[in-house]
Structure formats: structure tokens, C-alpha cells
Structure 1
Amino acid sequence: MQSLDIAAVRAFVLVADLQSFTRAAEVLGSTQSNVSIKLGKLERQLGRRLLERSPRHVRLSAEGAGFLEMARELVSAHARAVASFDTQVRRLVVGVSHELIGGEMPGLLKRVNAADPALRLELRVGSSRDLMPLYERGELDAAWLLRPDDRRKQGKCAYVEPFSWFASSQAAPALRAPIPLATQGKGCRVRNAAVRALDGAGIAWEEVFVGKGAAMLGAAAAAGLAVAVLATRTAPSGTRDVGALLSLPSIPPQDVMLYSSLSDKRSREALRVMGLVFGQAG
């Protein structure tokens, strides 16, 4: 068998992660047809069908699922080999809205490190309102934030994050009235959108827990204390989406903005990897 084309293997990993030829092509700066051609050649070389394609969905075949982890290791080893010639330490300070922090953080840090072992990443987590001034003063190299109310244009909409109502998998505190809510307080735009939706639907509510960050709200929900409005991706184990079950109004999805003026290849690659992890469920 001939040596595998690392570009084709990387394209396979991206399609598997993003479940989309279109999004993988955007990341690669290529076209959907070129990505499809690369994947077709890889499948013919391996003699295995890696992906099941339909007009609306892309998913791994059984053989593709078995190959995926080895493909990740191959792409990671290639990246480390290339990076070995560039040993200069690069420090990158990135702000991340605490509404976006979920259980994928260990995997995110692992993937960023695998892509560039000499990169020193400093993450600052806080509210979008608090992090934006830090970015504007140059204290952050980049920031992943919910789109501010003033619709600032200098950022790029990276993806759209869906939000919903989450409560304990074991208990249903929202079955009593008023609905007990866990929120981040009145300054939180997601909280304000949620209570506006409840008020508009004529559903009584009570704020019983206030904490900062999705992790705190998720903990309150998992403990059965309250219902929390969370990004679907950040909802912790021990919770479930109870929006449909309790006939609660839908929560508007939020644009996630990437603010960055960085142009060097290493920084842009680190941000690309972060975007892949954040946006997979977005």
C-alpha cells in the first residue's frame, strides 16, 4: 500500500468532527468537491468505506469509526514533526465567555497542545461584558464571546450556539409553579432572554439560584435545585433538556463571535482548533 496522503487524512478527520463536507472545506480553505475527491481517494486506497453520505447527513461508517482515532494520531504526529523545527515559545492570551465553557475543555487543551507543543496558552474566562473591554485594551490576543447587544462589526460570527432549558435527570423541579430558575443574574443577556420568553408565554418563574458560569448553573440543575438555561453543548451529565417536556418557550440561539486581529500562522491555527471544538455542537 502506498503512503497515506496526510492532507486526505486531515480532511477525513475534519469531516468526521464537523459532520459536514462544507464546513470542513471552509476550514481547509478549499471546496466541498475537492474535499470529497480527497476522501474518495483515501477510501479507495484503504479499500474501506469511511463515511456514509446522504443529501442531508454525513456520518462515520463502522470502519470509519475504527480508523478515526488512528487518523487523529497520524495528523497529530505530522503536526508535531513540522512544529519541531519551530521551537520558539509563543504565548497566546484568549478570553472565553463562561457561557461557552463545557466538558470539552480537556479535549480542547489536548488538541491545541498536540497541534503546537511550544504554544503557551492562557485562557481567561468571564462574562462577555467583562472580557470585551480587555480585548479592546489589548490585554487579550483574541476572544470568543456572545455577540454584544450593540452588534459590533469588528468580530467574526464563528458559529451559532443553541440554548435550551435543563434540569436534573432524576428530578423535575419545574413541575411546580413558579418555575425555579438558576441564572447568572440580571446582567446576563441569556438570562434576560429566558425570562422575557417566560413572561411572554405567561409562565410564572422564580430566581432561586444565582451563579457565574455555565458550570455553576449546570451544577444547580444537576442537583435538582432549579432549571438552568444552558448552551446545549455545555449541559453536564445528570441533566436533560426539559424544554419540550414542560412546554417551555424556545430560547433564541446566540451568535458566538471571534474577535482577533492575529495574522501569524501559529496563532490562527490555535484559534482554528479551538473553533472546531467549540462549534462541533453549535
Structure 2
Amino acid sequence: MIAAPLDLDAVRAFIHVAELASFTRAAEATGTTQAGISLRVKRLEHRLGCRLLDRTPRYVQLSPQGAVFLERARELVEAHDRALAILAETRQRLAIGISDHVAGPDLPALIARMNAQDPQLLIEIRIGSSGDLLQSFDRRELDVVIARLHVGRDDGEVLAEEGFGWFAAPGWQPRATEPLPLATLAEPCGVRAMAGRLLDEAGIPWTEAFVGGGVAAVAAAVSAGLGVAALAPRMLPLGVVDVGARLRLPALPRLPILLHTRVRGGPPRQALAALSAAFRSAVRV
């Protein structure tokens, strides 16, 4: 007797849940409901005769059988997509701008998630300041921009809110008679402007000790002991510490991350949904 073939939609649902560790995020990534994702995974488990995911109210994780099946599931879906791609005449393009203060170390995983959604989609990523990227979006040079809330712009969808802190190298101490040395991004940068404004309002003298062309450079300067930086915790290497309370620096607000898009349907929209869901999973602070 020939066994019934696997349902590819159910296999895709399992992969999304496994990678995002969430039925809710998997539903967002596929544009369906949590109940629909759960039903597909249960049907796949029934077809395979084993439990693929261990579920509790607080977490979702792979079972031993699920860990073994995951790589084979990815290979199955990739082979299916390659077979269909042979007949495709043109590749669709999706141009995305991501603020440097938003991209962070999660960017490779986010790109991989979009590529897994549609390997034939031509993805273009541009990193820059929120203001510059939004200007490019308005000129229709970019299809999508993911950026911090920008002054005068409220036309985006809130993806997440992220906390910030004042970070420095372990054991770093400011000099009592000198202004607080800051490591910042070059202008224009909304986080840089916010940090300076809050320090001014608190009456704390400060000066630029380092100006970097990207968040990675600022994080390196902090690790090297050049000064303090206002950054999201996920942007920083291990070992740096939050010195805000110790130095009595003003509290930093949680800042929303907005999705600006004119993509409405088709494979680009599906890839964007996968990116948004993965991003919400990455920014859990």
C-alpha cells in the first residue's frame, strides 16, 4: 500500500513554528490563523505518527523526532520550490531599507527567513538612517522601510517596541570634572538626538567621544571603553553593562519600530510577512 504524500502546507507550517518558536508568529508569517497553523501541524504529526513539537502555555520547542525531521522538511520544501522555479520566467524584486539602529545582529537570520519563504525572490537590502531611508521610500526607490518612529511620520505599522539603555564597558568610570563622553552615530540619527536632548534636560554635560558610521562601530567603541552609548541591548556584544542607574542618567523611553510598505500581495507580501513575524520574535525586550 502506497503511503499518502505529505501535505506541503502542513510541512511549511511546521517549519515556521519550529524556527519562530511560536504558533502566533508562524500564523503572522503565513498570513493565516493560529488555529489553522495548529491544525496543520497536528495533521502532519498524525500522518507521521509522532509528536514533532512539545507545547506548553509558555513555550514551544522541537521534540527529538521533530529535531530529526526539521532538516528533511526544509529539504523537501526547497526541492519543491526549485522545481517550480524552473518554469518561472522572471524574478520579482523586493527592495527593503532597514534602519541601522533596527537591523542589528539579527539581520542574517531575518534575510534567511525571507529567502526560505521564496528562494526566487530577488531581495535588496539597504541599511541607513531612518530619515534617509524614508526619503528613498517616498521617492519610490524602496518598497519597504523598517525604521524607528521618525518625527512627523505616523504612516507605518508598529512591529514592536524596544527598550534602550546607557551602556559602557565593565568597570568604566567617567571623570568627575569632564563632560560625559558619548559614543554615537553620525547625524542624522533620531536616537542620537534623543540621547542628547534627555541629557540636556537633565542638566548633564556631555560631549561626543566617538562618532561611528554604524551601530557595530559604536558598539565596538563602547567595548573599548571610549564612553557611554544609548543603544538597544540586543545591539551590544557580551560583557557591556547598563550604567544608567549608577551614573544617574535619565531614563530612556521604549521606541516603536515601524513598517512602512507599499507591497500589497504576491510573493513579496508573503516574504514580508515572514520577515515581520521573525522580527517580532527577535525583538523581545
Normalised by the shorter chain, which TM-score bucket? 0.7 to 0.9
Match of 1:35 in 2: 37
Structure 1 partner of 2:124: 122
Contact 2:184 2:192 in 1 (8 A): yes
Contact 1:173–1:179 (Cα < 8 Å) also in 2:
no
Q: Residue 172 of structure 1 corresponds to which residue in structure 2?
A: 171
Runs of 4 or more, structure 1, over 6 Å off, are 199-204
Structure exhibiting the larger radius of gyration computed from Cα positions: 2
Match of 2:19 in 1: 17
Amino acid aligned to 1:234? M
Give 2:242's aligned residue: 242
Matches within 5 A, 1:52-201: 52-153=54-155, 155-168=156-169, 171-174=170-173, 180-185=181-186, 187-195=188-196
Aligned residue identity for 2:62 = L
Shift of 1:9: 2.2
Aligned to 1:281: 282
Asked if 2 retains the 8 angstrom alpha-carbon contact of 1:104 and 1:277, the reply is no
For these two proteins, the number of residue pairs brought into alignment is 278
Task: Measure how far apart 1:82 and its partner are.
Answer: 3.1
Given that 1:80 and 1:114 are in contact with CA atoms closer than 8 Å, whether structure 2 keeps it comes out as no
Question: In 2, are the aligned partners of 1:243 and 1:249 still within 8 Å (CA)?
Answer: no
Tell me how far 1:267 sits from its aligned partner: 1.9
Superposition TM-score, scaled by structure 1 size: 0.80
**Partner of 1:173: helix, strand, or coil?**
coil
Question: What is the CA–CA distance in structure 2 between the aligned matches of 1:81 and 1:20, rounded to whole Å?
Answer: 29
**Preserved contact between residue 149 and residue 255 of structure 2 (Cα < 8 Å):** yes
Change (3 A) 1:38 1:203: farther
Q: What amino acid maps onto 2:184 in structure 1?
A: T
Deviation at 1:238, TM superposition (A): 4.1
1:36 and 1:79, CA in 2 relative to 1: closer, same or farther beyond 3 A?
Answer: same
CA gap of 1:269–1:29, structure 2 versus 1, over 3 A, is closer
> Structure 2 CA distance, aligned partners of 1:244 and 1:62?
43
Task: Provide the rounded CA distance (Å) in 1 between the counterparts of 2:74 and 2:106.
Answer: 17
- Note the alpha carbon deviations across 1:105-146, whole angstroms, 9 max, x for none: 334444444444443333222111111111111122221121
1:220 aligned partner: 221
1:244 is displaced (CA, Å) by 7.9
Find the aligned partners of 2:205 and 2:140 in 1 and give their Cα distance. 43
Q: In the superposition, relative to structure 1, how do residues 271 and 204 fare at CA in structure 2: closer, same or farther (>3 Å)?
A: same
User: Which residue in the other structure is 1:4 paired with?
Assistant: 6
Residues 230-253 of structure 1 deviation map (CA, whole Å, 9 limit, x = unaligned) = 333333x44445358847665322
Contact 1:161 1:231 in 2 (8 A): yes
Instruction: State the 1:70 CA deviation.
Output: 3.5
Secondary structure of the residue that 2:264 maps to in structure 1?
Answer: coil
Indicate the larger mover: 183-192 or 141-150: 183-192
* Post-superposition CA distance 1:251-274 (Å, at most 9, x none): 322222222212341221332343
Contact preservation (8 Å) 1:95, 1:123: yes
Contact 1:221–1:239 at 8 Å: present in 2 too?
Answer: no
Contact 1:164 1:241 in 2 (8 A): no
When the two chains are superposed, the root-mean-square deviation of aligned CA atoms in Å is 3.2
Aligned counterparts of 1:136 and 1:275: Cα–Cα separation in 2? 21
Q: CA deviation at 1:148?
A: 1.4
Counterpart for residue 271 of structure 1: 272
Aligned residues of 2:81 and 2:119 also touching (Cα < 8 A): no
What is the TM-score normalised by the length of structure 2?
Answer: 0.80
Specify whether residues 148 and 223 from structure 1 end up closer, same or farther in structure 2 by C-alpha distance, changes over 3 A only: same
Separation in structure 2 between the aligned mates of residue 126 and residue 23 of structure 1, nearest angstrom: 27
Mean Cα deviation higher: 180-189 or 260-269: 180-189
User: Which one is further off, 155-164 or 246-255?
Assistant: 246-255
Q: Which runs of 5+ in 2 are unaligned?
A: none
Higher RCO, 1 vs 2 (CA within 8 Å, ≥6 residues apart): 2
The 1:111/1:217 distance shift into structure 2, 3 A limit, reads same
**Aligned partner of 1:229: which letter?**
A
